[in-house]
A and B are shown apart, each in its own frame.
Chain A
Amino acid sequence: MVKVDIDTITKELQAKLNAAKNSQQITNIKLEYLGKSGVVNNLASKIKQFPNEQKAEFGKAINKLKNQVTILVQQAEKDILNYGKNVDADLTIPVKPTFTPSLHPTTQTLRELNAFFNYYGFSVLEGPEIEDDFHNFEMMGVPKDHPARELQDTLYIKEPEILLRTQTSNEEARVLKREKLPIRVVIPGKVFRNETANRTNGAMFYQYQGVYVDKNVTMGNLKWMFEKALKHILGEDTVIRFRSKYYPEVEPGLSPDIQCKFCGGKGCIVCKQRGWIEIAGGGMIHPSTLQKAGIDNKKYSGFAFGWGLDRVVMNKFKINDQRLLYSGSLIYK
């Protein structure tokens, strides 16, 4: 009569599993014991030899054996994966690296700049992207038919009143009307122009704008802020000069140039032989803008400044085409 010696069989099995060197060998052992004509099934087929009254007991023993064998094999399968017993694993195969998630370069740049301006007491605001003509243009010194409208090709939702903002100054207009004085804010955000995209400009791009209104705010303050910010962004060795430039929303207007880092100011292709690169714009907030916001422009003064953020991002991350930034074409590490 056949006896089910569970102990012996499981000990033998354990020994074989311990000796297995890779998952293939474990699979083979699994087949040897649990396969169609494996050890367990072979034993089970002997049930016919038993008288009926003993069949139940034999069946129980077989089931117990089957359970134990299964547990041992499964454990061995896990072990070989988890504890590196898989000595045949080919670790020389060059594999695909895991991509770690990343923030968009523009967000990273924005965070850095916002932190910088926070330090100097500037709050961060965004403002609406769908805007009316008054806040985007009229209040910012560009009434209808003003020649300066040539500077910005506008995308309209409903001509001539509802548009996509062409500049973050729209929020400046709203802030000046809405907030209590003094005001110290930066306004980063998306702006839109009816311009075909090229390497340096897209129909959508980011502007970074700052506004400061208080008593006794001067152009000297603006120069100081520009120097701090531009050196923070571009490095302490940045050489800056200030010159007059017309922007309709400010009076007087001021533009900082940075000395070309490629030629050290001698003139090259990058700076179009100028030796200097135009980097930002600013000036004292136009008296008519302050007046329209209900601010006494003889008591208070303010400066506004701004620059295209994308150029800063591209410079920081060595990206040479603006179109890559917002088309999903940046592949992250």
Chain B
Amino acid sequence: MLVPLNWLNKYVRTKHSPKQFGEIMTDLEFMQDGPIKDTKWGKVIDLEVRQNRPDVLSIIGAAREYAAYINAPVKYPNQTDKIKFSKPKELINVSAKKVVKRFTAVEVLNVKIKESPKFIKEYLNSYGIEPINNIVDITNFVMLEYGIPMHAFDLDKLPKFDCKPLLNLRMAKAGEIFTTWQGTKATLDKNDLVVADSNNRLVSIGGITGELHSGISDSTVNILLEAANYNHAFIRRTAVKHNIHTDSSSRHSKILASDLVETAILRALFLIKKYAGGKIASSEDYYKQKQLVSIFTFDLQGEVNRLGGTNLTTNKCAKLLKRLGFSVEKKSKNSVKVIAPVWRTDINFEEDIVEEVLRLWGYENIPVQQINEAPPKNITDQKLILENKLRDILLLLGLSEQITEPLVLFENLPNQIQLSNPLNKLKNGLRTSIKPNLVQVFKTYKKSGIEDSKFFEVGKIYLQKNGRYSEHNAVQTYYSNTTSENVKSDLLQVFEKLGIKPKAKYNNKKVIYNLRQNKVATLDENSYVLYTDNILKVANLDQVPVINFETGFVQKIIEKITIKTEGQENLDKIANLIIKCSKIIDQVYIENKNKDIYAKDNLQSVTFTVIFSDDKNKLTRKDINNDKNMIFDKLETLLNLKVERPE
């Protein structure tokens, strides 16, 4: 939520610098998002407003919070005198009763469309909304002031057909098409709320966006002003489904206060009267589901101190709550009645009130308390203990650990699970085996020039059978460049360390190892899988040795440098020169001495593998390229070598 500080100052005079204001709001729950913007219209602060506080998607909402912090009153803006709303008849008809909580419409005749006054234009500009004309601007202005979206129609463009009401709130028909004022088309369904005119033509998607035809133009004379509150779930689903996100939909997707609809309408009518003239002709209000007031009678002090670990008095708690607009009334020694202010739709539990007290008092003031209770019985998952022991055993056998994503291509493998809303077409299923992932890792390593690889991964595979989904724990290995005898030897060594002697069953180029009817492992020519869940049933974990050692890790980037030589050079000298060129070169070696002699110049090429690593800083491509260029220069000038520079 962008908060222009000049605008906020209308409701509460700030006593702090913009930076301090940002820090205060951050402490209160509204984190400053990004740097303070310096605009032509003053400083603007972006605050993060989470889903529970739509009341602070407004300038007055932010002002209330700050005012509570400095213990000052909020100066609420002028609004027109209360008007008596009629029941829905001429102006509105609500058939979507599940969705519409409140809908208020007012007919204002003989308005004068012109530019808005300077302050409205400036405030809107500072928020980032382009001023259009006084009526449109006032609806936007009040939406930002109170957080209640509103809309004005050109009354003369809403036909009066068959004596039907002007605006009809109903669910859309499947396939009904709506064109937004920006010209995008949405094909609606029966779960979308729409507003139709008396001729059944759609004039808006409820709570989200309007159309062009019935909007305010320079020739508008009479208007129909409306503000509403809906069941947020419907608005949220419609906005997401049609990917239409507006200032209005972002507010209506949250739980707004129905009572504020009237406040916003009265405020807008005040501004319209003052800056556009006109006269109220009629007004109607649909308000069947009245907003519930949150009232709690409980031991306020006791609960605050029980959860906070604080030592606040009832009086102190009450004072803090009152600053936030709560009303507090002492009922008995340990019982206090707390009523939430009308704009707070997020107060549903006593604990919500506890939070209000503590956040205004300041989390920094909560005393830090060591946990002194004796720890309960250790219930660590035995599977995790086994997995850790297997990691150590495999590490000892020279295997490195990999962790890969289980999201894979759905290939309709037996029992494979398909995702219903995948991220993309290549990750639309879950793996049924970890081995393909490790083969992929091997390919990556091979590209880096490492052909001898031994990997393992501790992870899960996922299966479905007859609509039931299951996940299974497995430890998968993969060996390249070695004999199947070596792979098998390693597996036997794992069994040895686990203290188990399973029986081998040979089956179509695979060996399946069973122990007491539990499949504990499968071996093929270059890998084996250990079935953790079954091993747990047959191994005695306490007797599996602990081999805990730290191995460290430093990120490495591997580069190749090829030179042409007559075969006379001392290759070690060249390697030494390369290594001295940069502080981030870890190793230089020759993978394969390529003895192909170039027919043309009688030179042979030698490729050096250069490993860059840095245990202090993050490696960047720019640093590596700079260093490589320096290596090329030095090899050419100092050793007079021909270097193959990359294109």
Contacts and interface: CB of A to CB of B under 8 A. Distances in A.
A106 B553 CA distance: 10
A123 B385 CA distance: 11
A118 to B, nearest CB: 8
Given A324-B555, A331-B448, A251 B34 contact: no
A282 to B, nearest CB: 11
A203 interface: yes
A243 B50 CA distance: 14
B112 interface: no
Contact of B307 (A105, A124, A214, A301): A301
6 contacts: A103-B391, A150-B236, A220-B310, A284-B351, A286-B349, A327-B405
Contact of A328 (B306, B424, B437, B553): B437
Interface of B: 26-29, 31-36, 50-53, 232-233, 236-237, 253-255, 306-310, 349-352, 354-355, 358-359, 363-364, 366-371, 373-376, 378-381, 383-384, 388, 391, 394-395, 398-407, 417-424, 427, 430, 437-438, 440-441, 444-445, 448, 450, 452, 454, 458, 460, 462, 469-471, 548, 550-558, 570-572, 575, 587-591, 608-609, 613-620
Nearest to A225: B371
B569 to A, nearest CB: 11
Interface of A: 92-97, 99-108, 111, 118, 120-126, 128-130, 144-148, 150-151, 154-159, 162, 164, 179-180, 182-185, 190, 192, 194-196, 202-204, 212, 214, 216, 218-221, 223-225, 227, 241-246, 248, 251-254, 267, 272-274, 276, 278, 284, 286-288, 301, 317-320, 324-333
A224 B421 contact: no
B553 A121 contact: no
B368 A227 contact: yes
Chain A CB within 10 A, most for which of B52, B254, B352, B399: B52
B383 A274 contact: no
Nearest to B460: A129
B405 to A, nearest CB: 5
A196 B405 contact: no
Contact of A220 (B27, B366, B423): B366
A150 B255 CA distance: 13
Given A111-B388, A301-B306, A92 B420 contact: no
A330 B403 CA distance: 10
A333 B363 contact: no
Contacts of A111: 388, 548
Nearest to B439: A328
Contacts of A146: 51
A105 to B, nearest CB: 5
Given A147-B254, A254-B363, A103 B551 contact: yes
B308 A218 contact: yes
Contacts of B52: 147-148, 246, 248
Given A129-B471, A220-B308, A328-B440, A157 B253 contact: no
A194 B407 CA distance: 11
A194 B309 CA distance: 38
A332 B455 CA distance: 11
A68 to B, nearest CB: 33
B558 A252 contact: no
Contacts of A284: 307, 351
A251 B351 contact: yes
A105 B571 contact: no
Nearest to B370: A224
